[in-house]
Amino acid sequence: KKGVDRTVTLVLVFGTIVLEGLTSEVKDSFKYKQWPDKVDKHSVLGYFARNRRHNMFVRFMRFFQCKDILDQNWSMEPCYSSMDITKLVHQHVRDGWKDYIKDAESYREFNDIRGQWTLVRESCDQSLGWSLEKPFDESVLLWHIATDFCFQQMDIPPDHECATRSREISNYMMHLLFMNPEMLMPGSRRNLFKTVYRELRDILKGEGTSNQEKGIAQKTIDKLKHNADLKINLIYDAWVLAKGLMDIGDDSKMWKVIQGVWLEMLCFSAGRCRGYLHAKSLGSGVEYLSFVWLLLAYVGMETFSERIQRTMSIKLLKQRIENLPNGESGNNNFSVSPDEGAAPFDEIVVLP
């Protein structure tokens, strides 16, 4: 009997230890899923350099029609700075509530900006504003390549926080365009990435260029400067944008502009992404954009569904007015409040 009791006791003690260990593992895993620090990234120059370094392997995969599978599973090394980027997003929204949003109209305008506010504040809207007048996916692509051109053309120290964060957001936005275009914005064109890649390949065709990003960027810029036939492609527009940024003259101000534009673009993208896409991404790992979306919703920014509801309300009102008999439009009993669709300011909670 004593032997049985001893055995039962040992089993219970051992089982308790195992359960404690498993519970600890589960808790650690849950914490990681709550806030992963990983931010995925893609880069046009990095993609080109990788294909050059592994030319034979890429050809082999293309021969067996597995290139798309390779691209989806062989991305760039991610960065681990989501908390740093999130702090910048939070500060951007706080500045918006403090300096931009005064009423319902300015609230809506702030939710629609995608770089314009930064350019106006830094007095760069006249020279650089054209780059934001294009379709959003195209603007993202232009600013991505321009950011890389600026980064590779200048000697950036490793501890340059503004330049580092700017490039990380740039590469993440390119990851969305390449891997998750519908999350970037409904209707985004993934083929734009491939179009620019082909342009880059044609520009450097027959050139014995480096298989490193810096060398590729330098050779591309040299070709763009001396070949008038290249002035009709996206890469040339990106170079014009990069040149305009570098012409600011002050490196600190230049990177402040680049970072500000990328923050606005990131928030714009998060606010335009459908909720079910955030839920869908849970099956393959949470996209960082989902955390930005949750933060924006928490601090009172307009979500995609709220924007759609506001737009539909205005359209329905207009349709009802147009259907009224002549002379009755002034006697209708319905109206739309100028604040419809905007968050109630007195109920907004801003993170400390």
Average pLDDT of 42-68? Answer: 82
Residue 340 lies in a domain: no
Domain count along the chain: 1
Range in 119-133, 135-149, 299-313 with the lowest mean pLDDT: 299-313
Residue 72 lies in a domain: yes
DSSP code per residue over 302-337: PPHHHHHHHHHHHHHHHHHHHTSPTT-GGG-S----
Give the pLDDT band (50/70/90) at residue 52. confident
Q: Is 296 helix (H, G, I), strand (E, B) or coil?
A: helix
For residue 285, what are its two tokens? 């790992």
Residue 177 lies in a domain: yes
Give the pLDDT band (50/70/90) at residue 318. low
Q: In angstroms, what is the C-alpha Rg of the chain? A: 25
pLDDT tens, 247-302?
998 999 999 999 999 999 999 999 988 888 888 877 767 889 999 999 999 998 98
DSSP code per residue over 244-280: HHHTT--HHHHHHHHHHHHHHHHHHHHHHS-HHHHHH
Between 5 and 268, where is the model more confident?
268
Between 304-322 and 251-272, two packed helices, what is the crossing angle to 10 degrees? 70
Residue 73 lies in a domain: yes
Beta-ladder partners of 39: 79
Can you give the residue range of the structural domain that contains 267? 44-90+119-273
Range in 63-72, 91-100, 260-269, 324-333 with the lowest mean pLDDT: 324-333
Residue 166 lies in a domain: yes
For the cut 60, the answer to whether the pLDDT of residue 72 exceeds it is yes
* Percentage of the residues of the chain whose pLDDT score is greater than 70: 75
DSSP code per residue over 179-198: H-HHHHSTT--THHHHHHHH
Residue 21 lies in a domain: no
pLDDT tens, 90-134?
999 999 999 999 988 899 899 999 999 999 999 999 999 999 999
Residue 228 lies in a domain: yes
Residue 75 lies in a domain: yes
For the cut 60, the answer to whether the pLDDT of residue 201 exceeds it is yes
- Cβ atoms 351, 297 nearer than 8 A: no
